[in-house]
Structure 1
């Protein structure tokens, strides 16, 4: 199957908040409040859960603007996206945008440098286990002074907001696997005051980083 709805919210940050760590629901979130023409949207980023399922996060710095042109050209507001590689949708495992740029630069070509670049840019590299605070501290730091936000995920069914702002594929058998699909991952792409594009991505540790064309783990 897949998410019932998917898209991207384009807007500017009004404020960032953390849920009360002593009073929250099934998941603990950082919340971005994003201004768009229809009003303020609440965007919930999962960073922890009392159920014992670990959350992981990853930052990808210096995204290639040419690969982000389709979404970057969108007007502020909510935009539904088809789950395809040409719509502007993101996919943690398949999207060249989320490889970032080479982490190592060498004037002379070298097989070792090429290998290091491939590792650094791999979607399997750089995942950090969230303690909630470490993930939210990084996200808040990147949000400070940002120019624009692009929040990918599913729209709230009631009110203005975006959830499922995390990887939406690779779930093990269970209550969430029916929502898996490719080219429908959530995440936050932040345009800094200088115009740099950086991605903040999250996943649940049991989600596989190797999936088939239906987004199911292999």
Structure 2
């Protein structure tokens, strides 16, 4: 079954810090401190590779606020989201604004001449692979204190307000401990609003997770 709760936290970024070796627990996170009406949330962005030794994968880019509707218009605070297109939920593999190539109309790779033209007008957004420290370094430039922030994932309230599962939440392989959490339209993400109104986007996933999934979120 998919995650039992999923939603978005809208707030103001206060600060961030990395887990330290003596406090990080089993996985390594970049922790975001976000102020919202209910209090200060700790949002743990998981940038560890879990089951794979080849590292975590991520991508960072900029989007217009309009393509993230209705998220930018939400009031500060936590909001549950239905796991469906149009609710504001995120799906790395299905959301048209988050695809590897935005607006791509081709199921198969187009001819080389057309591919070259597409690359000029719609640059591809490949996943970058690296260590947990590489991923942390890629995330931190968008973590500007005072920026409005949208954090998608799963809320928790043990030890204070917080959000976790801020990463892809589908495509985990059969037999892994995360197989039961697979589902579509429930991926985590970090969006911070720039002064010009656009959003910096950071998406993160694990190299053990599949690039294609079925309607249940399991690997194809």
- C-alpha separation between the residues in 1 aligned to 2:155 and 2:80? 9
Taking the TM superposition and a 5 Å limit, the aligned residue runs for 1:127-206 are 127-145=127-145, 147-158=147-158, 159-173=160-174, 174-206=176-208
- After superposing on structure 2, the runs of 4+ consecutive aligned residues of structure 1 that deviate more than 6 Å are none
CA shift at 1:21, angstroms? 2.9
Distance 2:50 2:188 in 1: 22
Q: TM-score, normalised by structure 2?
A: 0.86
Please give the alpha-carbon distance, in whole angstroms, between the structure 2 residues aligned to 1:34 and 1:193.
18
Task: Identify the range of structure 1 (192-201 vs 3-12) with the bigger mean alpha-carbon deviation.
Answer: 192-201
Q: Would the alpha carbon gap of residues 66 and 188 (structure 1) be closer, same or farther in structure 2, given more than 3 Å must change?
A: same
Unpaired stretches in structure 1, ≥5 consecutive residues: 103-109
- Could you say if the C-alpha distance between residues 66 and 209 of structure 1 is closer, same or farther in structure 2, counting changes exceeding 3 Å? same
* C-alpha deviation, 1:153, in angstroms: 0.2
> SS of 2:97's equivalent?
helix
Aligned length: 208
2:15·2:145 contact (CA, 8 Å) conserved in 1? no
Deviations 1:72-99 (A, max 9, x none): 1100000000000011000000001214
Residue aligning to 2:109: none
Q: 1:42 to 1:101 in 2, by over 3 A?
A: same
Residue 217 of structure 2 corresponds to 215
User: TM-score when scaled to structure 1?
Assistant: 0.86
Q: 2:130, 2:180 → 1: CA distance?
A: 25
Whether the 8 Å contact between 2:52 and 2:207 is mirrored in structure 1 is no
Give the corresponding residue for 1:107: none
| Contact residue 151 and residue 188 of structure 2 kept, 8 A | yes
* 1: CA distance, partners of 2:203 / 2:146: 17
In the TM superposition, residue 51 of structure 1 has moved relative to its aligned partner by: 5.8
